[in-house]
Amino acid sequence: MTFPDDKFADIGAFADAYFRASQAAQASVDRVALARAGALLAGAYAARKCVFVCGNGGSAAISNHLVCDHLKGAQTDTDLHPRVVSLSSTIETITAVANDISYDEIFVYQLRTLADPGDVLVTISSSGDSENVVRACDWARDNDLAVIAMTGFAGGRTQALCDVNLHVTGDNYGVVEDTHQALMHILAQFIRQDRMPADLIRGRKF
């Protein structure tokens, strides 16, 4: 069933239905895949490999937010010093590549310049089918980068191009993006608490 599937006259009723859809979306995330994604990121951070992240629109905002929470948050009270780069935040490079070459190349162009084997790419795309994200995944796979793909809707082409797929069952952009944002926070906070001395956790804000 799609959401919304009818007109709502009352915003409270809409909110209740939205929250129910959000709960179902959150419950749909494969916990084994989530554990694999966490291990990949924690391993990359411990080895000082670079983690690149990208997305379009709302997913670009989640990508940029991921840098904050993983670069700063995951190293607070831990021995980690994560190297995290959002390919969606480099507006000067993005517009130059989009204008002179193609918008489809904005992420892969940066990866060709910056990435090394053993690094990790995180893609965030509700459809899983944005051409620039698909090209980034394809290049990463061919150049020995691990790929974590956050997807929704039908999953798109990135499902077949990733090592770990964090798929959200949902067909509403807000619900899917909210869940991707939550997954970003969960990964950062779990890695942080896992690397912290246990006696510090209760006294810290997450």
Question: Domain holding 175: CATH number?
Answer: 3.40.50.10490
The percent of residues above 70 in pLDDT, for the chain, comes to: 100
Residue-wise pLDDT for 32-78, tens only, equals: 999 999 999 999 999 999 999 999 999 999 999 999 999 999 999 99
pTM of this structure: 0.96
Residue 1 lies in a domain: no
Check if the beta carbon of residue 105 is closer than 8 Å to that of residue 132: yes
Residue 3 lies in a domain: no
Residue 205 lies in a domain: no
What is the total count of domains within the chain?
1
Give the residue numbers spanning the domain of 179: 12-196
> 105's torsion region: left (phi>0), alpha (psi -120 to 50) or beta?
alpha
Residue 201 lies in a domain: no
Residue 134 lies in a domain: yes
- The rounded distance, in Å, linking the Cα atoms of 45 and 132 is 25
Q: DSSP for 121-153?
A: EEEE-SSS--HHHHHHHHHHHHTT-EEEEEE-T
Longest C-alpha distance within the chain, in Å?
A: 54
Residue 90 lies in a domain: yes
Other C-beta atoms closer than 10 Å to the C-beta of 186 total 16
